[in-house]
Amino acid sequence: MDSLEGQNLGKYRVLEALGRGGMARVYRAYHPQLDRYVAIKVLRSDLVEEEEFLARFKREARAVAALRHPNIVQVFDFDARGDLYYMVMELLEGDTLARRLDDYRLREERMPWGETVRILLDVLDGLAYAHSEGMIHRDVKPANILLTRRGQAVLTDFGIAQIIGGTRYTISGALMGTLSYMSPEQGLEGHCDVRSDIYSLGIVLYEMLLGDPPFDAETPLAILMKHVNDPLPLPRQVDPSIPEPLERVVLRALAKRSNDRYQSAEEMALALRAASEEVGLALPERISLPLSFTTAEAPSESVAVLSGSARQKSLAAERAGEDTDATLGQKLAAEAAAEATPAEAAPEPAGSARAAGAVARGEHSAAWSGRREAVDTPAPSSVAQAALKGVSLLVFGNLIAILAGLVTGWWGIFGRGWPFELLLVGLFLSLLMEALGSIWLLIPAAIVLGNGYLMSFYAITGAWPLWSLLWPLELLLVAGAIFVPIRLASEGERAERVSRQVARAVWRPSLVLAGLVVLLGAIVGS
């Protein structure tokens, strides 16, 4: 778009360009009636042609304007002039965290740990509030964290925010963001929740501790696949001086599976505070002024939101890869198709809207599906280990029963304690359910384990005549085992989480009960 400097946008006089990102260009402007300087974010003109994208921008403006929190940039207004759509935001003096980290890199220093925790706690405060209002950021990174002269960290640019539970606009190439800070599920499937923001903030914490993000590569797809497949370079292996409690926070925040991360910003904030107390860090009340404010060359420099023009020029080459990419979906689709053999390639051109949209929505093309298997399909070793454990349970359970028979001299133990076999088979199915995360395995596992519990009760008490009264429990058990998976099957990660939680919950009591049945069978029989 042409520069708007010197023009009027509604009530605002545009003064100068401050910067640009993947979605918009940002200007410094002045409201004469209110005598107030503001930042104006103008949507890229080529994106206005996408009707769904424009709907996303409008929805974002209304949602962000409703947020009121000291650690989130305030949006004052939203309007349009012709084909120009823009948001009016507060203009804050400060420096982005990206620039602060650059200053430390130039000095070959690292940010003090206390300062690091102070900044992260401010950001987590803002994220917790936004999440409670049903909003996720989707592009948390150092360039979107402003360190103000008031000594606060403020989250800026909810440019690709998505309302939780709201309409999803899935245009061609709707996958947007910054891959170096993007969670595996957001990069692979184009969807995310609050735990995706947690992952991105974990990358930010990693960079604050070590100076650089953990994953880098020459192409977008290569970066994404490192997030998906590569083990995290352990912070203390890179720098042994990093305190172990801080490393634990990083490892939890950067778990590949969203279920294994902190489940909320509040939970991560509590863990970060506990880690700082364990280390004995003294947290500053306020964030220190940017290093550039105290240099001899610019002792009182004032940096506008999202960095000023001088900084923009100096960092343009170094930070080009940190801009939010509004065409990430198309790039990933093109790269995936380029790597596919002619026989594997999708029928449509890689750059087409359909191909790009398929990547953004996580749909399968031949070129992409092989990449997705890394996270959509459990690692063979974990499934194999679960199967091995299940078979071992069956073998050792029966060996224990045989040993009990040898000790007591009563081989009728299997006639009295046979329900332990049901419990062992149910445990085998539960192990597979936990490894696969499949809600459908809940059907056989619940039926077999439920009958194992019922039959164990009858076997232990000898109250078999009660079957004539309690047999309806069997119908309820089967109905529940079928109804719950069908109800949860469409809920994605929640279904997977429930299946794993159920599997873990039944493990110990079922194993204890199986041993008890064998023991009582041997005692009663002898």
CA atoms within 13 A of residue 323's CA, in its CB half-sphere: 19
pLDDT value, residue 350: 38
**45 shares its domain with 176:** no
**357 shares its domain with 414:** no
Report the C-alpha gap between 365 and 271 in whole angstroms: 40
pLDDT higher than 90, residue 292: no
Q: Which amino acid is at 9?
A: L
Top-confidence residue, 49 or 231:
231
**110 shares its domain with 193:** yes
pLDDT value, residue 519: 66
* 181 belongs to a structural domain: yes
pLDDT value, residue 475: 84
Number of domains in the chain: 4
* 292 belongs to a structural domain: no
Record the tokens describing residue 481, joined without a space: 């085992």
* 491 belongs to a structural domain: yes
* 391 belongs to a structural domain: yes
Q: Which amino acid is at 428?
A: F
**57 shares its domain with 128:** no
Top-confidence residue, 212 or 367:
212
pLDDT value, residue 216: 85
**86 shares its domain with 99:** no
Record the tokens describing residue 443, joined without a space: 């059907």
Confidence (pTM) = 0.60
* 293 belongs to a structural domain: no
* 479 belongs to a structural domain: yes
Look at the alpha carbons of 101, 265, 134, 50 in this order and tell me if their dihedral is positive or negative. Answer: positive
Give alpha helix (H) positions in 133-193. 184-189
**338 shares its domain with 359:** yes
**486 shares its domain with 356:** no
Instruction: Domain of residue 516: give its range.
Output: 380-525
Q: Which amino acid is at 40?
A: I
Active site residues: 139
Report the C-alpha gap between 446 and 456 in whole angstroms: 15
**278 shares its domain with 340:** no
* 304 belongs to a structural domain: no
Query: What 3-state DSSP class applies to 389?
Result: helix
**363 shares its domain with 414:** no
Q: Which amino acid is at 158?
A: F
Top-confidence residue, 210 or 173:
210
* Other residues' Cβ atoms within 10 Å of the Cβ of residue 159: 24
pLDDT higher than 70, residue 411: no
Cα separation values, 69 from 122, 123, 286, Å: 11, 11, 17
pLDDT tens sequence across 226-280: 888 889 999 999 999 999 999 999 999 999 988 899 999 999 999 999 999 999 9
Question: 263-267 — which CB contacts under 8 Å span 24+ positions?
Answer: 263/194, 263/195, 264/128, 264/131, 264/194, 264/198, 265/124, 265/125, 265/127, 265/128, 265/131, 265/194, 265/197, 265/198, 266/124, 266/128
